[in-house]
Amino acid sequence: MEELATPHTPAPDGVTVRLTITSPEQMRELGRRLAELLRAGDLVMLNGELGAGKTTLTRGLGEGLGVRGAVTSPTFVIARVHPSLDDGPPLVHVDAYRLGGGLDEMEDLDLDVSLPESVVVVEWGEGKVEELTDDRLHVVIHRAVGDTTDEVRLVTFTGIGRRWANVDLGVLSA
């Protein structure tokens, strides 16, 4: 585990944690651990190339949050709501890949759920959904360059805004 302040972090209080993940199952486990840090109103932005593992991480997150329905790639829908199986927040899983118009379009989705009362996870949301909240957790997943069969992924977490200022992201490497 490596924890360092980066000069490229958009907010002064942003802390970046970098992890190396070596299998899909470990990615899922990371999602389950991440769920423990999340609460209603949180926005998690997942970026990284096709097949990086964004949905795999979200699947673990859904398990950790204890929501209904398996998290899958929302190929035909832009967003899917997974209600909590107990009294926790629902998971709203958005694939913004085809979301051209950004936030306006997302508001038009009529999700029938209050985003401030949900945990919102957005794949491919960069430049599209930042206005949802000043506070957000950026997750970037990179595959080891050049080797398409490699299961190694580098995952970077950056907390932005006051919500994340005092959160110890280091627990994710446990």
Selected from 9, 73, 133, 173, the binder of Mg ion by CB under 5 A is: 73
Instruction: Considering only the stretches 71-79, 101-109, 111-119, 134-142, report the one whose residues sit in contact with Mg ion under the rule CB under 5 A.
Output: 71-79
Give min distance, CB of 134 to Mg ion, in A.
Answer: 26
Do the strands 91-95 and 119-123 form a parallel or antiparallel pair, or are they unpaired?
A: parallel
Q: How far apart are CA 76 and CA 111, in angstroms?
A: 15
Binding site for ligand ATP (CB under 6 A): 21, 23-24, 27, 48, 50-56, 73, 123, 151, 153
Considering beta carbons, is residue 53 or 159 the nearer one to ligand ATP?
53
Residue whose C-beta lies closest to Mg ion = 55
Considering beta carbons, is residue 123 or 130 the nearer one to ligand ATP?
123
Residue 74 lies near Mg ion (rule: CB under 5 A): no
What mask of x and - would describe binding to Mg ion in positions 37 to 56, judged by CB under 5 A? -----------------xx-
Structure tokens of 43? 């926005």
Give min distance, CB of 58 to ligand ATP, in A.
Answer: 7
> Residue 81 binds which entry of ligand ATP, Mg ion, none, with Cβ cut-offs from 5 to 8 Å by kind?
none
Give min distance, CB of 5 to ligand ATP, in A.
Answer: 26
Q: What is the DSSP string of the chain?
A: -EEE--TT-SSTT--EEEEEE-SHHHHHHHHHHHHHH--TT-EEEEE-STTSSHHHHHHHHHHHHTBSS-----SS-SEEEE-BSSSSPPEEEEEGGG-TTTHHHHHTT--SS-GGGSEEEEET-TTTSGGG-S-EEEEEEEEPTT-TT---EEEEEEEESHHHHT--GGGGG-
Give min distance, CB of 160 to Mg ion, in A.
Answer: 22
* Site residues, Mg ion (CB under 5 A): 54-55, 73, 123
